[in-house]
Chain A
């Protein structure tokens, strides 16, 4: 607990430095005449809001030194929530001005306002649209791919328009040093975007994979088996994932995170990714031709086994079995005989993905499997319903707090399981979960 607090404090300090140092730098050297408190406060939150927006490109740049301590899903969770803080600051910035100086409301007349105000409006409206589309994508029935493309476009417009507004208004940027600092920051933010969308894909382009098999699995799922094409491949840890675009190369704007389902101990660089037909993109997985080239950006993820513990408890729901299979296969290949309990929730017996393979791998592991079916067939004598505290207590030996838990599945399931584990006294440091509902 103490190490988490320290880690959080260090990361917060670093993040706040990049957000606030450029603002405080404006207090150096020659300063323009000061105005009233609220106008100066409004200016300050305007600069800070812009810095928060620009740094969002850094949070989503997939830098491992940023994501490794947290896991990508936590970084995206932070990215999502900090955008609400940025939005509040950016919107409050003009509102405070209009309250303090009501005569300034003429700036809202877009076609009559000076260019600096028009760029501010463009930035603010883009940011509002970006947040609205992100929060209500599903309710607005917007496809993920369309949302993602507009998200990137609106983010670029919001930041660049904000920079132009700042440069044109220039109240604090008369000093060449300060002007250079903030323009340099803007270039840095854009460079982060260029790194993610151009530089990183160039590295991925150098290590392509070839699809050697498209294997049907139970539960409307398909496994892509991919071999490295003229390179040794790279290693990953069980439970990790990669970004993949099933159609299109590494420069494609929209990629999706998929967990590896193969053993991390494979020596020939072969990787397998198992994908369930869940949406517009994944429903076409069966059409991926054998022999096609695939570009994989990975590995990423902090959701990985290998922690020193007496027992692994893997709790999976639906396609959440994918990273668990990687863990099981890896443990088997490594001859790890520590007890493993797999609690696997599925709709019915026929849709239990990897059912046969799980049974086949049992002799190689100290593995106990508990299937939990929400719609069991007649005659089913196993567990029914959904994974809850009762199922955990019946199938996992005490002391519960000593084991290491990995949870992956639908959000509803994960929240219920986490509450169950908490009610059994399992400390939060002992269970790990990963969520990928971005919008």
Chain B
């Protein structure tokens, strides 16, 4: 069960870092 949770954490990390990176880029472009 812990391995399954670890796999989900990896996926959650990947999705989150991509979204935050996109947010970073968006803020920069919009002049933050």
A249 to B22, CA, bound (A): 47
Asked if A82 contacts B13 (CB within 8 A), the reply is yes
The majority secondary structure among interface residues of chain B is: helix
Verify if A4 is at the interface (C-beta below 8 Å from B): yes
A111 to B23, CA, bound (A): 35
Instruction: Find the A residue at minimum CB distance from B8.
Output: A8
Contact with A81, one of B5, B10, B22, B32 (Cβ below 8 angstroms): B10
Interface string of A89-132 (1 = CB under 8 A from B): 10000000000000000000000000000000000000000000
Asked if B2 contacts A71 (CB within 8 A), the reply is yes
Q: Interface size bucket, B side?
A: 20 to 34
Interface string of B1-32 (1 = CB under 8 A from A): 11111111110111011101110111111011
Interface string of A133-176 (1 = CB under 8 A from B): 00000000000000000000000000000000000000000000
Verify if A234 is at the interface (C-beta below 8 Å from B): no
Q: Write the nearest CB–CB distance from A37 to chain B, whole angstroms.
A: 5
Chain A residue contacts of B1, Cβ below 8 A: 4, 428-429
**Contact A48/B21 with A34-B28, A78-B10 known, Cβ cut-off 8 Å:** yes
Verify if A11 is at the interface (C-beta below 8 Å from B): yes
Contact with A12, one of B9, B22, B32 (Cβ below 8 angstroms): B9
Q: Write the nearest CB–CB distance from A407 to chain B, whole angstroms.
A: 12
Verify if A41 is at the interface (C-beta below 8 Å from B): yes
On chain A, the number of residues with a Cβ less than 8 Å from chain B's Cβ atoms is 40
**Contact A38/B21 with A20-B16, A85-B13 known, Cβ cut-off 8 Å:** no
Asked if A74 contacts B17 (CB within 8 A), the reply is no
Q: Which of A1-51 contact B (CB under 8 A)?
A: 4, 8, 11-12, 15-16, 19-20, 23-24, 26-27, 31, 34-38, 40-41, 43-45, 48
30 contacts between A and B (CB under 8 A): A8-B5, A8-B8, A8-B9, A12-B12, A16-B16, A19-B13, A20-B20, A23-B20, A24-B20, A24-B24, A27-B27, A27-B32, A31-B28, A34-B31, A40-B25, A40-B28, A40-B29, A41-B21, A41-B24, A43-B25, A45-B18, A48-B20, A48-B21, A71-B2, A77-B7, A78-B9, A81-B6, A85-B13, A85-B14, A89-B17
Interface residues of B (CB under 8 A from A): 1-10, 12-14, 16-18, 20-22, 24-29, 31-32
